[in-house]
Amino acid sequence: MFNFICRRVIHAIPVILIIATVTFFLIRLAPGDPLSDEKAVPPEIRVNLEAHYGFDNPLWLQYLHYMGNLFQGDLGPSFKYIGWTVNELIGQSFLVSLELGLLALIIAVLLGTISGTIAAVNKNSSLDYLPMSIAMAGICMPTFVMGPLLVLFFGLYLGWFNPLGWEQWSDRVLPAFTLGIYYAAYIARLTRSGMLEILSSDYIRTARAKGLPEWRVVLVHGIKTGLLPVVAFLGPASAGLISGSFVVETIFQVPGLGRFFVMAAFNRDYTMVLGTVLFYATLIILLNLIVDIIQVIINPRLKYE
Amino acid sequence: MNKDHSISLWKDAYGRLMKNKLAQFGLITFILMTVLSVCGPLFSPYTYEEQDLLYGAQAPSLKHWMGTDVLGRDLITRLLYGGRISLGVGFMATLVSMVIGVIYGAVAGYIGGKTDSLMMRFVDILYALPFTVFVILLMVVFGRNIVLLFIAIGAVEWLTMARIVRGQVQSLKKLEFVDAAISLGSSQVRIILRHLIPNSLGPIIVYVTLTIPAVMLLEAVLSFLGLGVQPPMSSWGLLIKEGAEKMEVYPWLLMFPVLFFSLTLFSLNFLGDGLRDALDPKSARD
């Protein structure tokens, strides 16, 4: 177990370094730079600014400088949010994104596993077809369709929630549902097929044969193995929740990391873009590792590779 | 390769597909959407950029079947032009991802050994990366260029295809017809191109059908964020974005694009599911 984690972490380091390098040079290829704004800066001030941020040095020196700071965990200052460091900006906005992502994940897992299990237990009845049809609709409705529709209906027509913002508790409901519903649908389908396979296996027949009540068979014996595909899906799902958050945060004006990233990319805020990309990459690699570990814990048949 | 056998396999699959009502519905809707988008604009009296500023946004009427947007542009015309872009990006990016994925997977699976594990290790690493982030970055860096858009998306979406083809090729290359081809003196390239890839067509087709909606979705997300297609040109993602901005006042600007887009995604997903059941009856229906 320990060896496995160590090896994965060691594998991840060169990956992150390559991402840092590629992103660093890619963003420099972009036309424009963070210092060119709508308001033209006088040339003398511009020279001073360039000197301040080290833009007058050759690119390779800037690269080495950045990587040196990176090894100390310093992502540099933001060019657009004067006085803020990228670390501070990411730290603050990520908490918002994390809250949104976790709420969406909870909705997705709860809705998905429950409806998927119900569908599998009542195979080929209306309790199977109805949730599965809704799930198919959920998969075909992308976040940027679902979001505006939810706002239109619950926000403007019924007036239950604020159409946008991130102030009170109730402001969390619509964004979290918008983000979570696709994954709920996907998890429902995975749960259903996983449970169907398990419920026809030998050990379930044994459990039924020794006279256990049906709910025990399903909820204690079946669900443990039946949910394995769902657990495996959680890695890609959390990566998807991250990219989904770009859209949802834009629709609902949520001050999260996704919105900061898109704005930083528009503004050519070099350090902010780099910092966010690296942060996302590390996060996804970490999440995949955690999911792999969980998978082995609940299913010892899998070995650490 | 036994020709009769391959024909009966496809006939068999065709028969199963035709029995699947949902898949048929998907196929018909998808063809209809494509024909409408390609031919529709030719019959429209308006163009996608023609403005009727005197009236601004109008509700659907006989003159403008789906109404007009704030600048007085005919919505149905913009939708059909948008369909060309969205479907075009869907096809082209899927084609790019298919070419990369099929070749990469076939080579890895055929050569096997160290090369294979190295190549698949690379795919594993790429799987773990935040690709939407990268596509957004590419669009910002190199401008909102439509050719670049589908190359970027295609370059991102080939990973699963490579895995599928590799698995197929790995099991196929142990079969006798490959030995026969080798003993007849076929080159390795010929074996891959003429024998292994054609025999993996089933799973490839299924996955292509499921990639098109995924790609269209990514294009729409980019356009929605303002990074994809730029006005006055239109795409479904862009129209949904414009519609979402004005939905309280002019709901039809959101409803019609959503209808077109979701219907197309629906039909492609149903078709893909149906094709999977038809071409690979062993796979459990989920």
pLDDT tens digit string along A13-31? 888 888 888 888 887 777 6
pLDDT above 50 for B1: no
Residue A167 has pLDDT above 60, yes or no: yes
- One-letter amino acid at A70 equals L
The neighbour count for residue B40, using CB atoms within 10 Å, is 17
Chain A residue with CA closest to B270: the answer is A136
Q: Which residue of A has its CA nearest to B236?
A: A145
Nearest chain B Cα to A266, which residue? B140
Mean pLDDT throughout B219-243?
A: 80
Instruction: Give the model's confidence band at A130: pLDDT under 50 very low, under 70 low, under 90 confident, else very high.
Output: confident
Q: Does B283 touch chain A (CB under 8 A)?
A: no
Spell B81-114 as b/e; 16+ CB within 10 A means b. bbbbbbbbbbbbbbbbbbebbbbbbbbbbbeeee
In this predicted structure, what is the pLDDT of residue B284? 41
The per-residue pLDDT for range B90-123, each reduced to its tens digit, is 888 888 888 999 999 888 888 888 888 888 878 8
Least Cα distance to A245 among A176, A150, A167, A149 occurs for A176
Q: Verify whether the Cβ–Cβ distance B262 to A145 is below 8 Å.
A: yes
Residue B4 has pLDDT above 60, yes or no: no
Q: Name the residue of chain A whose CA is nearest to B141's CA.
A: A30
Percent above pLDDT 70 for chain A: 93
* pLDDT on residue B72: 66
Nearest CA distance, A245 vs chain B (angstrom) = 11
Contact A152/B286, CB-based, under 8 Å?
no
pLDDT tens, residue by residue, B32-42: 888 888 887 77
Chosen from A90, A145, A259 to mutate, greatest number of chain B CBs within 10 A: A145
Predicted pLDDT of residue A284: 80
Q: Which residue has the higher pLDDT, B4 or A265?
A: A265
Q: Residue A173: pLDDT above 70? A: yes
Percentage of residues of chain B with pLDDT beyond 90: 0
Residue A36's pLDDT band, with cuts at 50, 70 and 90, is low
Q: How far is CA B98 from CA A117, B92, B208, B228, in A?
A: 35, 10, 7, 22
The reported pLDDT for the residue numbered B81 is: 84
| Chain A closest-CA separation from residue B266 CA (Å) | 6
| Cβ–Cβ under 8 Å, residues A259 and A246 | yes
Average pLDDT of chain B is: 78
Mean pLDDT, range B244-263, rounded to an integer: 81
The reply to whether B207 touches chain A by the CB within 8 Å rule is no
Q: What are the tokens at B21?
A: 């009502």
Cβ pair A152, A77 in contact under 8 A: no
**Does the CB of B284 have a partner CB in chain A at under 8 Å?**
yes
The partner residue sitting opposite A148, judged by closest CB among B220, B244, B270, is B244
Do the chains contact at B262 and A23, CB–CB below 8 Å? Answer: no
Q: What secondary structure does DSSP assign to B126-193, as a single string?
A: HHTS-HHHHHHHHHHHS-S-HHHHHHHHHHHTTHHHHHHHHHHHHHHTTSHHHHHHHHTT--HHHIII
Chain A nearest-CA distance from B228, in A, is 13
Per-residue pLDDT at B285: 43
Ranked by mean pLDDT, the top range of A89-93, A186-190, B100-104 is B100-104
| CA dist., res. A292 & res. B10, Å (int) | 39
Provide the pLDDT for residue A257: 85
Average pLDDT in chain A: 80
List the structure tokens of B262: 């979701």
Residues 6+ apart with CB under 8 A from B2: none
Dihedral through CA B276, CA B281, CA B283, CA B286, nearest 10? 70
Q: Note whether B237 contacts A: Cβ–Cβ < 8 A.
A: yes
CB spacing of A142 vs B221 below 8 angstroms = yes
Which residues in chain A belong to E strands, given as ranges?
A: none
Q: Is A191 left (phi over 0), alpha (psi -120 to 50) or beta?
A: alpha
How many other C-beta atoms are found inside a 10 Å radius of the C-beta of residue B184? 9
Nearest-by-Cβ selection for B286 from A142, A189, A266: A189
Question: At residue A129, does pLDDT exceed 60?
Answer: yes
d(CA B70, CA A263): 26
Among B132, B218, B250, pick the best mutation site for testing chain A contact (most A Cβ within 10 A). Answer: B132
- Nearest-Å Rg of the Cα atoms of chain B is 22
| A37 confidence band (pLDDT: 50, 70, 90) | low
Examine the pLDDT at B5 and tell me if it is beyond 70. Answer: no
Is B266 in Cβ contact with A140 (below 8 Å)?
yes
Q: What pLDDT sits at residue B281?
A: 56
Sort out which chain B residues have CB atoms less than 8 A from A156's CB and list them. 247-248
B30 at interface of A, judged by CB pairs closer than 8 A: no
CB pair distance less than 8 Å for B220 and A144: yes
Q: Judge: B137–A265 Cβ closer than 8 Å, yes or no.
A: yes
The confidence score (pLDDT) of residue A243 equals 67
Which range, of A258-267, B26-35, B53-62, B144-153, averages the lowest pLDDT?
A: B53-62
B73 pLDDT higher than 50: yes
What pLDDT does B286 receive? 40
Kindly determine whether residue B137 and residue A281, on different chains, have CB atoms separated by under 8 Å. no
Of B141, B142, B240, the CB nearest to A145: B240
Q: Do A145 and B137 touch (CB under 8 A)?
A: no
Residue A261, token pair as written in the block: 């990233």
Q: Which of A137, A148, A285 sits opposite B128 (nearest CB)?
A: A285
Tell me the chain B residues in contact with residue A273 when contact means C-beta distances shorter than 8 Å.
Answer: 137
Q: Which CB contacts under 8 angstroms, 24+ apart, belong to A55-61?
A: A59/A25, A59/A28
DSSP per position, B218-267 = HHHHHHHTTSSS-TTS--HHHHHHHHHHTTTT-THHHHHHHHHHHHHHHH
Q: How far is B22 from chain A (nearest CA, A)?
A: 12
Q: What is the pTM of this model?
A: 0.77
Please report the pLDDT score of residue A285 as a whole number.
Answer: 81
State which residue of chain A sits closest to B269, comparing Cα positions. Answer: A140
The CA radius of gyration of chain A, in Å to the nearest whole number, is: 24
- Checking if the pLDDT of A275 tops 60, the result is yes
Of A230-244, B67-81, B169-183, highest mean pLDDT = B169-183
Write down the pLDDT at residue A39: 64
For residue B284, give the 3-state DSSP assignment. Answer: coil
| pLDDT > 70? residue A90 | yes
- Residue in B133, B144, B236 to test binding to A, most A beta-carbons within 10 Å: B133
Average pLDDT over residues B130-150: 75
Q: Which of A99-108, B15-24, B92-101, B252-261 comes out lowest in average pLDDT? A: B15-24
B254 contacts in chain A (CB < 8 Å): 148-149, 152
Q: In chain B, positions 243-282, which contact chain A (CB-CB < 8 Å)?
A: 243-244, 247-248, 251, 254, 258, 261-262, 265-266, 269-270
Show residues of chain B in contact with A144, CB under 8 Å. Answer: 220-221, 224, 237, 240-241, 244
Tell me the per-residue pLDDT of B9-48, one tens digit each, with 9 for 90 and over.
677 777 777 777 778 888 888 888 888 888 877 777 676 6
Max mean pLDDT range (A180-189, B59-68, B202-211) = A180-189
- What's the gap in Å between the CA of B114 and the closest CA on chain A? 16
- Say how far residue B22 (Cα) sits from the centre of its chain: 19
Is B224 at the interface with chain A, CB within 8 A?
yes
